[in-house]
Amino acid sequence: MNAARYWLSAIAESTDDAIIGKNLNGVVISWNKAAAGMFGFTADEIVGQPITAIIPPERLDEEALILDRVRRGERLVHFETERRRKDGTIVPVTLTISPIRDDAGRVIGVSKVARDLSEAHRAHLVSGRREALLSSILDTMPDALVVIDDRALIQSFSTAAERLFGFTAAEVLNRNVSMLMPSPYREEHDKYLTRHLTTGERRIIGIGRVVVGMRKDGTTFAMELTVGTVELPGAKLFTGFIRDLTERQDRERRLREMQAELIHISRLTDLGQMVSALAHEVNQPLAAMANYINGARRLLAAGNQAGGQQAIERVAEQSERARQIIRRLRDLVKKTDSAKQRESVPVTIEEATALALVGVGQGLKLEIRVAEDAAEAVIDKIQIQQVLINLMRNAVEAMGTMARRELTVSASRIGEMVEIRVTDSGPGLPESVRTRLFQPFVTTKPEGMGVGLSVCRSIVEAHGGELHGDDAAGGGTVFRFTIPRATAPVPTVA
C-alpha cells in the first residue's frame, strides 16, 4: 500500500496539471508542485486553508455546487471556469473533479485536476483576430473568392462574389460550382476536376485564365480566373480568385476607339504627306523623261539614230528612278512581321470566345472542339484572337434573334497546318457580297465600315494561311482559316 502511495505521489509531482485534494468542507489537504506554479501559493501556504483562496468572488457559488455534486458521488469532467492566482490575476482553467472514497465506498474528499487554458485562450484570440482580419480583407477586396472542395461543391463565397454573380452565399453553399458557368463549360468542369484528382494534371491551377462566368440572371461575362489548391488533413480545397473583365474591357474599348480615331487622323496626315512627297519626288524623273522623249523625237526626225537611242536610254533610266522612289515609299509604310511563337490552340480559342461573347446572354448554344493533333500552333496569339473575335461577333450578329442560334468553333489538322472553323446557324452569305467578301469597304451592316474581314485575311495570310467563307452544310455560314501547326512537342507547365 505504501508503494502505491509513493507511485501516486511521484506521478502527481511530475505532471504539468495542478492536482489538488480537499475535504468535503472545501479545505485543501494536498497541493502538488504544478498547483504551486499555476496559482502562486506554496503547499505550506495553502494546505489547511479553504480552496476559496483561489476562487474569484463572483464564482464562489460554484464551490458549493461542486461540493454538493461530489457528495452525491458525481464526477465533473472538463468544467471550464476561472481561478485566481496569489497576485490577484485571473487564469482560465478546465477542471476534472472526482469524489475520493474510503474502503467502504463512502465519499470522504475531493480530487481536482486543473489545466491552465491561458495559452489556448491566447491562441484562440489570435486566431479570432486573424479570422476577423481575413474576413475583412475578403469582404473589401475587389476580386471575388470562391472556394470549392474535391467534389466541386462551394464551401466559401465572398462578398465580392455575391456582388459579381448576384447570388447570396446561402444560395450557393454546398452546390456545384458549375452553376456559375454557362454551357459548354458547365458540362465539362467536373470532368476537368476528376482528371486532376486522378492524374494530378494541372491545366489551369496556378495560372490566370480568361473564361466565361454566368450571373444569377443568366447573363454572361468575361472574367480572369486564378485557381490555387489548399491541402488539409483528409481534404483538398480549391480557391478561385475571379476578376471581372467587363469594366476593364469597356475602358480598353474606349481607349481603342480613341486610339483608332488618332490613328485615322494620323493616317490621313501621313497620306497627305506621302502624296506630296510622291508628287515632288516623281515629278522630277517624269519631267526628265518628257524632255528626253522630246529630244529623242527631234533626233530621230533628223536621222540621228545614235542620239535618239541615247535619249531613249535616258528615258529608261528615269523610269527606273521613278520606280525606285515608289518602292521606297511602299517599304516605308509596309508593316513589319509580327512576333509568332508556340501557343495552345484551345486556350487561344477559349480566351477569344470569352471576350467575343460578352453580353450575348442566353439562348446561344456554343460548342468548342479541338482535335488532339491540332492543339498547338505557331502564331501571334493576339492577332489570331482578333480574327476569332471578329468572326464570332459577325456570326452572333448574323444570327440575331433567330430561334436557332448555334455557334461552333472547331480546330483540326490539315497537313502541317491547323484549320480553325467558325460555323453559325444564321441566314448564310448574301449573294450581293459573296464574291467581294474580303474586299475593303464591302459590308452587310448598316453602320459597318467593311474592313474587318479584309484585316482578318491580311492577318491570316501574314501567318502563311488562307481565309475562306462558305455556306455551312446544315445552313448558315462557315469561315475557315489555316495557321501553321507546331510540330515539336511543347514541355508541359505544372
Alpha helices in 90-201 (DSSP H): 118-140, 159-165, 169-172, 185-199
pLDDT of the residue at 51 = 93
Angle between helices 246-301 and 305-333 (to 10 degrees): 180
DSSP 50: B
**Nearest Cα to Cα of residue 98 among 90, 88, 108:** 108
Cα gap 145→226, rounded to integer Å: 10
Measured distance CA(201)–CA(352) in Å, rounded: 24
Rounded-to-integer distance, Cα 284 and Cα 425, Å? 58
Phi, psi torsion values for 378, nearest 5 degrees: -100, 105
Q: Which helix (H) or strand (E) holds 145?
A: strand 144-148
State the Cα–Cα distance between residues 162 and 443, nearest whole angstrom. 42
Residue pair 411/385 in contact by the 8 Å Cβ criterion: no
Q: In angstroms, rounded to a whole number, what is the distance separating the alpha carbons of residues 362 and 396?
A: 12
pLDDT in the model for residue 232: 80
Q: What is the pLDDT of residues 119-169, one digit of tens each?
A: 877 777 777 777 777 777 767 677 899 999 988 899 999 989 999 999 999
CA distances from 28 to 24, 73, 427 (A): 10, 19, 97
Q: Which grid coordinates are listed for 294?
A: 522630246
Q: Rounded to two decimals, what is the model's pTM? A: 0.45
Q: Are 32 and 55 in contact (CB under 8 A)?
A: no
**Is-contact 180 147, C-beta < 8 A?**
no
Q: How far is residue 31's CA from residue 19's CA, in Å, rounded to a whole number?
A: 6
SS3 317: helix
pLDDT tens, the chain, 494 aa long:
444 455 555 555 657 789 999 999 999 999 998 899 999 999 999 999 999 999 999 999 988 898 999 899 899 988 889 999 999 999 999 999 999 998 888 999 999 999 988 887 777 777 777 777 777 776 767 789 999 998 889 999 998 999 999 999 999 999 999 899 888 777 777 677 777 667 666 655 656 688 888 999 988 888 888 888 888 887 888 888 988 887 666 666 666 666 556 545 544 554 454 455 456 556 667 777 888 888 888 888 888 888 888 888 888 887 876 776 666 455 444 444 557 899 999 999 988 887 777 656 678 889 999 999 999 999 988 889 888 988 998 888 888 878 888 999 999 999 999 999 999 998 888 776 666 566 543 445 444 333 467 778 888 988 999 999 888 887 889 999 999 999 844 433 33
Give the integer Cα–Cα distance in Å for 160 and 145. Answer: 7
Write out 397-417 in H/E/C secondary structure. HHHCCCCCCEEEEEEEEECCE
Query: 308 forms bridges with which residues in the sheet?
Result: none
**Dist CA 253 CA 251 (whole Å):** 5
**Do the beta carbons of residue 85 and residue 54 sit within 8 Å?**
yes
Rounded to whole angstroms, the Cα distance separating 234 from 169 reads: 25
pLDDT in tens, 434-447: 665 665 434 454 44
Is the peptide bond prior to 50 cis by the omega test (within 30 degrees of 0)?
A: no
How distant, in Å, are the alpha carbons of 70, 113, 216 from that of 76? 8, 10, 52
Pair 345, 418: CB distance under 8 Å: yes
Provide the 10 A C-beta neighbour count for residue 445. Answer: 11
Distances (CA, A) of 444 to 304, 402, 448, 467, 472: 63, 17, 7, 19, 18
Q: Which residues pair with 469 in a beta bridge?
A: 479
Place of cell 541615247: 310
Please answer whether residues 318 and 282 qualify as being in contact, where contact means their C-beta atoms are separated by less than 8 angstroms. Answer: no
The pLDDT value recorded for residue 490 is 40
Q: What per-residue confidence (pLDDT) applies to 473? A: 85
309 phi/psi in degrees, rounded to 5? -65, -40
Q: Which three cell numbers stand for residue 61?
A: 457559488
Task: Report how far residue 41's alpha carbon sits from residue 127's, in angstroms, rounded to the nearest whole number.
Answer: 32
Which residue segments constitute the domains of the chain, with CATH numbers given?
A: 2-117 (3.30.450.20), 141-244 (3.30.450.20), 248-333 (1.10.287), 341-484 (3.30.565.10)
Does the CA dihedral 305-307-308-313 come out positive or negative? positive
Strands (E) located in 318-398 = 341-344, 365-370, 376-379
Confirm if 220 and 213 have CB atoms less than 8 A apart.
yes
Rounded Cα gap, residues 317 and 477, in angstroms? 52
Q: What is the pLDDT of residue 1?
A: 46
* Cβ count near 475 (within 10 Å): 14
Phi/psi of residue 429, nearest 5 degrees: -85, 130
**Widest pairwise Cα distance in the chain:** 158
Instruction: Report the distance separating Cα 411 and Cα 433, nearest Å.
Output: 26
